[in-house]
Chains A and B, each alone.
Chain A
Amino acid sequence: MREFDIIVVGGGHAGIEAACAASNMGCSVGFITMDKLAMGRMSCNPAIGGTAKGHLVREIDALGGMMGIIADRTGIQFRMLNKSKGPAVWSPRCQSDRKLYSEEAYSVVSNTKNLEIVEASVVDIIAEGKKVKGVITATGEQIQCSALVLSSGTFLNGLMHTGLNSVRGGRFGENPAIGITQSLINMGFESGRLKTGTPPRLKKNTINWNILEEQPGDEIPQPFSYQTDINNFPHLPQMSCYITYTDETVHKVLEKGFDESPMFTGRIKGVGPRYCPSIEDKIVRFADKNKHQLFLEPEGLDSDQIYLNGFSTSLPAEIQIEALHKIKGLEEVEMVRPGYAVEYDFFPPSQVDLTLETKLIEGLYFAGQINGTSGYEEAAAQGIVAGINAALKIQGKPEFVLKRSEAYIGVLIDDLVTKSTYEPYRMFTSRAEHRLLLRQDNADRRLMKYGHQFGLIDDKLIEKLSTREDIITKSVKLFENMKLHARNINPFLESKGSSGIDSAETISKLCKRPELTLKEIIGLNGTEQNPVVSSLIADEKALEQVEIELKYEGYIKRQFDMVDRLERYEATKIPLTFDFLTMKALSTEGREKLNKIKPRSIGQASRISGVTPSDISILLVYLKN
């Protein structure tokens, strides 16, 4: 009988991170996937990152995850979104070569030591006395483990819809996973149903590209990963996306298909995401809008397919093609594959703990869409946390939970566990109350120490970071005192349209002027002789950090103050054994919710909807004793 420390079920983005993290931490890992060539397959759009999602990728990378590395090697367009806004919302995004991404993922996984890829379909989970023991595959094989990470994506009882036709499957051309849901329900888990959708794929050479608006990548592309060698980046030739729009004629055609829509006729029971609605949803919900933007995204360097982002649909195929032909540039397009909606089982995430271990079965972890999230990045973020925690548990080490003030990953998991979700959950920067602190540019400063602590980040990287930290600290301190004199700086200020100074001003104060950059200021005569300044000029990344810290000092300080204020609630821990049900003084709703979610801190408890401030006072009373 085969036996591993940890089994990971599902070879998607969550599974890859969980499997790699756990095996790199020294655990033996059995990585079960139905099709090893489908590893890391991008089921939806061929892109990684985007607003808030790009932050997640940077954080995964700082913890020693794989997503950023794979995306850097297989990206065919890199853009930093939101460049016109402040640094906290800059978000890296790339278009990926779908085929290469999957191949690269397979290569990364198969080169990981302690890890064995097992091609199989899991039909049952074995648990003894509320502790996980292993899985049974479709061939009847029993594989044992001490911890199990379930990252089965959209495959649990997956059902794909195009018009009124529905086919069982987790992804186009792939079988669903049957059995796991029932197995979990038998253990006492509660399941739900969600829906997501994907647009049609188009044949590249049937599109009239000449009349479409081009959207190229950044002139100087930036990688996701701290480990990517900037001198050898990007690896692949770069491509553009193109933009087109629907109009009222297109909408009219689509409306014809509404009575055969699995959504509107009630065939689809699952709840879909409001932020990523199907085109038919958009027409109905936003009836006053007479056009919708669409993006034509390349599927890869050699691919003859184009992904029509913004046109997710489950209408009948003939309606899809008819509507496509009314769209500018797509008049003669050939549809390679129609769009479809997929329904799948998920397990409302209030059933897992902040470590992603289920509250019901010890050693069982859920990661990714099974927890109700949508998106590769959200899945990968949970994957790495589940993998690390599974390994820590086996090694008898303290668990790993990121705070909301530390990482988007912390926000993501806290939201899931504390608020649960009834629609697919996607990350947004607006979900992070400490947004100004959780920037993509400082993910390494926030999180790399943890990756290093778990052995997922090597010494070299952490040493580089600590040298940089040293430069940053010294520079910030220096610039708070170092003054520039009017006679030296006023001509420069004038040239920048900035008002002159009377006698002298600190670099720190000057840097706060929006029209000036730190680099320009310290480039003025005299300062570069200072050893701190010269080391700063030599390190672009450190320079960026210092500039942000100085420019937005007031705001950043206020956010830190807020973190401070909230911290005493976060730091007041609630023991796992705490019995909420015996506390008669709690409000009825509060008691039920607390018992269900079993918050780990007063801070978490206060975020549960239905828990009142008086419930919190009462909890504090009990915790004091």
Chain B
Amino acid sequence: MTSKSEPVKLDTSRRDELPEDTIVALATPPGIGAISVIRISGQKSFESTDKIFFGKSKIINASSHTIHYGKVSGDGINFIDDVLVSVYRAPNSYTGEDSVEISTHGSPLISKKIIELLLNTDVRMAEPGEFTKRAFLNNRIDLAQAEAVADVINSRTEASLKGARNQLDGVLSNKVHEMRSSLINASSFVELGLDFAEEDIEFINSNELDKRILNIKTEIDKLLSTYSFGKVIRDGVNVALVGQPNVGKSSILNYILKESRAIVSKIPGTTRDVIREEVSIDGILFRLFDTAGIRFSEEEIEKEGILRSRQTIKDSDVVIFIYDVEQKIDTELLNEIYTLISKDKVIVALNKIDILPNTMLKADVYISALTGAGMKELFKKLKAQTFGNSVYSEKTAIVSNLRHYNCLTKANEYLNNARESISNKLSGEFISVDLRNAENSLGEIIGEVTTDDILNNIFMKFCIGK
């Protein structure tokens, strides 16, 4: 009804998407130029910039449309570059939000490093077209520009669609299709009983329906359990190497690098920095961090390093704790590690077994970075740590995308509701509410949402028609 009387009162101020995250991206074309500009937008733009920017004053106190000279650093000690920071306060920015633009010298390495530092604060990588989209949402652009945005949204969706298709050509898509059609099948029985009350159709009894739903739920659970693995495939695994000086952390690191022969990148740092290497072992990206000591130190500079090492351990997926046959295990250090990360994520490795092969010392793996002994075992442990006990093959459907994960979780909740309705002996139309929601959640993953599916299924399979 288009007239005044509305049955439901609504908050019309709600918007489709409320951009709350702070986002960052390189605003100039990638590659080597005279300068590069990094753009940050969102509520935490100033706060985050202040974490990496060292100038005369804090950006958070700066007025809009002012430019500030300073240096960028992750720790306030090692400076990456001299930069100019431009400050734009909401609503007088391109996006209409608080924004910062950092102009650096035009080196891809420098801008990459700065963006990485920002990503460690409360900032995430912007999606293509996201700045423009925000500009539009905040009414910062006119009709002509809106048209351009539309193009961006379109091309972006098509690109991601393509990406999605590639992924969906795979097993996950098949799996979701399969689950969804079993669900539609089950739903059809429920609807049949409701809409064809006078027909002599044998429709589903509640035990059978519950069994079918449970089967689908089990499949969803299986998929959900692959998520951590899927995430590993997408994001890689962070591994911290921890131990006393001279236990051979560096030689182990070097051995792994040599052995994997697939150095992705080497990010330079000083000896006091956390050294990070990226290697690919059996197609999985491992990020190796060689930490400096994490023990108490009087020295100011070392204190900083210790702080960073602790953070690195906290952020790791796996910690390799290393000691060697020439010294006793540093239980104090190990216990300290256990306060930073759960015990089961720590692999204790005993190095230098070439010196003392028949040691009585205890460890999870016995290795020698010099001879390579036990290194295979270490890799195996690393992988086991990462994937748990599950066995995955190329035929296993794997969830690696957060959106997919969320859709599946939602579907699962709906199916739980439906089962509850069944156990409460409620009639089909109540069960159907959740079955449909679950169908739609699954449909969202593969881009299929239509209520006609159920009816089509009914007409296809059942003889009806008083």
Contact = CB atoms under 8 A, between A and B. Distances in A.
Interface of A: 50-52, 81-82, 84-86, 88-89, 91, 273-277, 282, 285-286, 289, 292-293, 295, 309-310, 312, 398-403, 405-406, 419, 428-431, 433, 435-436, 446, 449-450, 453, 514, 552, 555, 558-560, 563-564, 567-568, 571, 583-587, 609, 612-614, 617-618, 620-622, 624-625
B392 interface: no
B44 to A, nearest CB: 26
A402 B6 CA distance: 11
Contact of B429 (A89, A563, A586): A89
B430 interface: yes
B146 A436 contact: no
B379 to A, nearest CB: 43
A624 B195 contact: no
Contacts of A89: 194-195, 197, 427-429
Given A85-B194, A567-B10, A622-B150, A435 B429 contact: yes
Given A282-B465, A436-B430, A514 B154 contact: no
B463 A564 contact: no
B7 interface: yes
A433 B451 contact: yes
Contacts of A583: 150
A414 to B, nearest CB: 12
Given A433-B436, A514-B426, A625-B143, 18 more contacts: A82-B197, A85-B428, A85-B429, A292-B463, A309-B466, A399-B2, A429-B195, A436-B429, A436-B430, A555-B433, A563-B8, A583-B150, A584-B147, A586-B150, A614-B156, A614-B158, A617-B150, A621-B153
A275 B459 contact: yes
Contact of A555 (B198, B430, B458): B430
Q: Which among A285, A514, A585 has the greatest number of chain B C-beta atoms within 10 A?
A: A585
Q: Top 7 closest A-B pairs, CB basis? A: A585-B150, A614-B157, A86-B427, A85-B427, A286-B463, A274-B459, A276-B465
A431 B451 contact: yes
Contacts of A587: 154
A286 to B, nearest CB: 4
Contacts of B391: none
Contacts of A286: 462-463
Given A310-B466, A617-B153, A403 B10 contact: no
Nearest to A623: B146
Contacts of B136: 621, 624
A313 to B, nearest CB: 12
A617 B15 CA distance: 13
Contact of A430 (B12, B426, B455): B455
Nearest to A567: B10
Contacts of A558: 433
A571 B465 contact: no
A51 B197 contact: yes
A406 B16 CA distance: 23
Contact of A91 (B147, B153, B197, B200): B197
A515 to B, nearest CB: 10
B5 interface: yes
B218 interface: no
B424 A86 contact: no
A40 B425 CA distance: 42
B151 interface: yes
23 contacts: A50-B466, A86-B429, A86-B430, A89-B194, A275-B464, A276-B465, A293-B199, A293-B200, A401-B2, A405-B7, A429-B195, A429-B429, A430-B195, A430-B432, A435-B433, A436-B433, A446-B7, A552-B430, A584-B151, A614-B158, A621-B146, A621-B150, A624-B136
Nearest to B136: A621
Contacts of A446: 7
Contacts of B7: 405-406, 446
B2 A613 contact: no
B97 interface: no
A398 B3 CA distance: 7
Interface string B361-400: 0000000000000000000000000000000000000000
B79 interface: no
A91 B199 CA distance: 14
Interface string B155-182: 0111000000000000000000000000
B1 interface: yes
Nearest to A273: B465
B139 interface: yes
A618 B458 CA distance: 35
Contacts of A430: 191, 194-195, 432, 451, 454-455
A93 B436 CA distance: 27
Nearest to B195: A428
A446 B8 CA distance: 12
Contacts of B157: 612-614, 617
A260 to B, nearest CB: 22
Interface string B443-466: 000000011101100110011111
B149 interface: yes
Contacts of A402: 1
B198 A81 contact: yes
A403 B7 CA distance: 10
A89 B465 CA distance: 18
B450 A609 contact: yes
A562 to B, nearest CB: 8
B121 to A, nearest CB: 29
A400 B4 CA distance: 11
B433 A398 contact: no
Contacts of A400: 1-3
A622 B10 contact: no
Nearest to A297: B466
Nearest to A585: B150
B8 A564 contact: yes
Contacts of B426: 86, 514
Contacts of A585: 147, 150-151, 153-154
B463 A285 contact: yes
B142 interface: yes
Nearest to A276: B465
B14 interface: yes
Nearest to A512: B424
A450 B2 CA distance: 11
B433 A559 contact: yes
B28 to A, nearest CB: 25
A402 B139 CA distance: 32
A67 to B, nearest CB: 19
A482 B382 CA distance: 62
Contact of B455 (A399, A431, A568): A431
Contacts of A405: 7-8
Contact of A514 (B14, B142, B424, B463): B424
A419 B200 CA distance: 30
